[in-house]
Amino acid sequence: MSFWSEYGSEIVLKFWEHFYLSFLAIFLGILVAVPLGAWLTRVKKGSETVIKVVGVFQTIPSLALLSIMIPFFGIGKIPAVIALFLYSLLPILRNTYVGIKSVDATYLDAAKGMGMSQMQRLLQIELPLAMGVIMAGIRVSTVYVISWTTLAAYIGAGGLGDYIFNGLNLYRMDLVLMGTIPITLLALISDALLKRSEQKLTMDRG
């Protein structure tokens, strides 16, 4: 009880910061990657190149990418969200592209026969049928971003990573665990909820 009375309000604040940074980056990733992935399925050339270019961000070490952001955006939450957003893109973009491309042509032919426009086919046929695959990409991206958000503390963005960095600097395992345990729980709970949504969408598709 004394531990919670000493650190309780601070843990809640750090948890909220971590949650906010992670899910804002994921939300922005979905907002960009899903429409981009859908658009790439309409492009005859260059779609694979675009996906590879986006994939380059995944190859840059997290601390390096965060450090690159500092000269352009300073320190704090904005550069952290931008870096995490870039990391979130690839799984969502790739799965959106693959999911839509794998829709059975029979459904599309039937939609064309009904006189549906290309946009109507996308919104009413392709995206609903691909949603299970898209959700799988969102789930993978979410777990990655929650983990990577830990490093946002390196550039003063806050979050539970503050405890881990402080614990390592002060050789205090209790502080490290104060950051690690909530991050792990947040990742596991998010993964479980998104997996359930993915399974439901896959079953509905079937």
Q: What is the pLDDT of residues 3-50, one digit of tens each?
A: 566 667 788 889 999 999 999 999 999 999 999 999 999 887 888 889
Average pLDDT, the chain: 87
pLDDT band at 67 (very low <50, low <70, confident <90, very high): confident
Q: How far is CA 173 from CA 14, 34, 177, 180, in A?
A: 18, 41, 6, 10
pLDDT digits (tens, 9 = 90+) for 68-95: 888 888 888 899 999 999 999 999 999 9
Phi-psi map region of 101: left, alpha, beta (phi>0 left; psi -120 to 50 alpha): alpha
> Average pLDDT for residues 137-154, to the nearest whole number?
92
If one compares 201 and 79, the residue with the highest pLDDT of the two is 79
Q: Which domain holds residue 160?
A: 2-205
Q: Determine the Cα–Cα distance for residues 79 and 106; give it in Å rounded to an integer.
A: 45
Q: What predicted TM-score, i.e. pTM, was given to this entire model?
A: 0.89
Q: What is the CATH number of the domain that holds 177?
A: 1.10.3720.10
Counting the structural domains of the chain, the total is 1
